[in-house]
Amino acid sequence: MRLGVVCGVLAVLLSGVVAPAAAAPAASEPVYDYAKAIRETVWVDIGHDGDGDGRSDRVAADIVRPGEPTSGVPVIMDASPYYSCCGRGNESELKTYDSAGKPVKFPLFYDNYFVPRGYAVVLVDLAGTNRSAGCADVGGSSDVDSARKVVDWLNGRATGYRAKTGGSPVTAGWSSGNVGMIGKSYDGTVANGVAATGVAGLKTIVPISAISSWYDYYRSDGAVFGSSPAGLAQTVEDRNGGQDCSAQNQALRQGATANGDYGPLWADRDYVTHAADVRASVLLSHGVNDLNVKTIHFGQWWAGLRVEKKIWLSQTGHVDPFDYRRADWVDLLHRWFDHYLLGIDNGVQNGPQATVERQPDLWVTQSAYPAADAVATTLRPHVSGTLGTSAASGTASFTDNPSVGEDTWVTDPGSAALTYSTGTLSSDVHVSGTSSVTVTATPSTSSARLSALLVDLGPATIRNFTGNGEGIKTGTAENCWGASTPGDDACYRITSADVKKVNYTILGRGWADLANYASLSQERPLTPGTAYTMTFRLAPTDHIVPRGHALALIIGGTDGSFIRGPAQPGRLTVDLARTSVSVPLAGVVPAAATHQGRPGGDAFVPSAAQAAQADLR
């Protein structure tokens, strides 16, 4: 047989014909036996002593990788604080271990699907959580280094051990050094933070509903949402006994001042300022109705990136694409990781940049986000109650009432908010990107809040993002994504869209403390009777306001659905000549509407279901 092969090759060479090269693989295939996969834990030294015990903290990296002899294995990493306290995914899966401490259950489907295809999956416990030493610092250097140092270890630049303390050093000789990070919420936030360091070896990140600046998670242009990073730290540290995190938690309490000022603690956790340092490609997903990690996070992060990137925008709230468009998402992830971690030229980086859900389960692609034809358009409120592109004059007043919020403002504002509408639109208007509002207001007291809404007035069927599933219903039947073992199955409950009919859709929200009109770093007492001008952002979106609907701007004080009120709520008078909203839109908005009514007339009455919708926190 060998002689025949040699003779055949010789004949080809003598004839001058070159044998064709083997075709490059189109996709990684499940050729490795998941049942034989190697499961192990390595503790990586991250160079911090967060718990003050005099030892450098080590974080636990649980690894599952092909058991067959192989090298050059790429890694999919999910670094999380939730593997013992709160769970991951729609079914809140936790890590499990056998009696010897060997990892058994790896939450989510990544291991089941990708390990048979030649990948390793590494799930990292952030410092202070589950089996890692140290303390959580909620987006700070310890959180980020918990994952960054594991990337370094996979590339031979950091030290790993077989034990949490002591133990022998261990290297990752099996690793190719190519790492992709993925995760939802806090996990995706860590991916953003690690990517912002520009660490070598991190080839791609997939942040899902992720934070880009911790200030914007707890604060908004000076306004305070209410929760605190110290509370979150204590929650995720709760299952990891033994360490003393009192000093770290106190530092979080002191750094996150009671007011909404942007200080050093927030600056250290602002990844947007380093978005230009990102070298990894980015596949981003976010729900445009996410009221937990609000859409300002994806908008500012996306705008700062200078790398290959794609985006999915759903109508859901805080939901993973695996739970609203499962098959398409798994296929995209497969091709994405194959391209960026295995180097397969499958073209996944080409084509439309954005995929957007227009109606429940109705998806479209567009060449770019924001839409290529969207132009920043200035709209101005008029004393008649209209909203248009022409100049305005006059004043209008409202009385701050922190006991009500956005839904009351839309359906029955009374004296608590001001509403301005374009009137019925004669053609579709596409709002795509981040809007901003500039308000000039004179307060009657020494403290004041401002809130603004951009609203599509008109009937629609949307995902029920304020429901228990934030836009999805979870059934009892399952489908499976990859291979299973007795302790780690690949099967997950099938979901469907949870929808409802509404009479209006809020496209963008924004909140501000007027005391931060001059600087986000230092609030200033207001002088009653003095006019102040402040510009603040509204949440990014991608939405088409259809013909026959109206686009409205609502301005109020304390949106009780979200932010804390001022010490002395009072009356605010708005100078309409110096108040406007800048909206990135494609389409025509009238210079000034001829009437102030809503579509269908002035007597707008919400449905009973819509009127009952209240708590959006």
Task: Copy the structure tokens of residue 493.
Answer: 């409950």
* 8 A C-beta contact, residue 503 and residue 610: yes
Residue 397 bears catalytic tag? no
Residue with tokens 């979200």: 562
Residues constituting the chain: 617
**Residues 32/116, Cβ–Cβ less than 8 Å:** yes
Beta-carbon contacts of 291 under 8 Å, excluding residues fewer than 6 positions away, are 317, 318, 465, 466, 616, 617
> d(Cα 401, Cα 405) in Å, to the nearest integer?
8
Q: In Å, how far are 213, 245, 324, 333 from 216, measured between CA atoms?
A: 6, 25, 26, 28
Is 185 one of the catalytic residues? Answer: yes
Catalytic residue among 48, 286, 318, 382: 318
**How is residue 44 written in tokens?**
């990586």
Cβ count near 31 (within 10 Å): 10
Residue keyed to tokens 């009109």: 517
Hey, how many other C-beta atoms are within 10 angstroms of the C-beta on 441? 25
Distance (Å, whole) CA 520 – CA 450:
14
3-class secondary-structure state, position 212: coil
Strands (E), 241-300: 281-287
Measured between alpha carbons, how far is 498 from 317 in angstroms, rounded to an integer?
11
What is the Cα–Cα distance from 224 to 250, expressed in whole angstroms? 19
User: 206 in helix, strand or coil?
Assistant: strand
**Measured distance CA(296)–CA(433) in Å, rounded:** 10
Q: Are 64 and 111 in contact (CB under 8 A)?
A: yes
d(C-alpha 298, C-alpha 294), whole Å = 8
The residue from 143, 216, 290, 400 that is catalytic is: 290
User: Known catalytic residue: 51?
Assistant: no
Residue 589's nearest CA partner among 553, 562, 563, 565 is 553
Residue type present at position 231: G
Catalytic residue (choose from 84, 176, 185, 435): 185
Tokens for 513?
């403390």
Two structure tokens written together for 48: 């911090």
- Angle at Cα 233 formed by Cα 138 and Cα 59, nearest 5°? 70
What residue ranges in 293-369 does DSSP mark as E strands? Answer: 309-314, 354-359, 362-366
Catalytic positions: 185, 290, 318
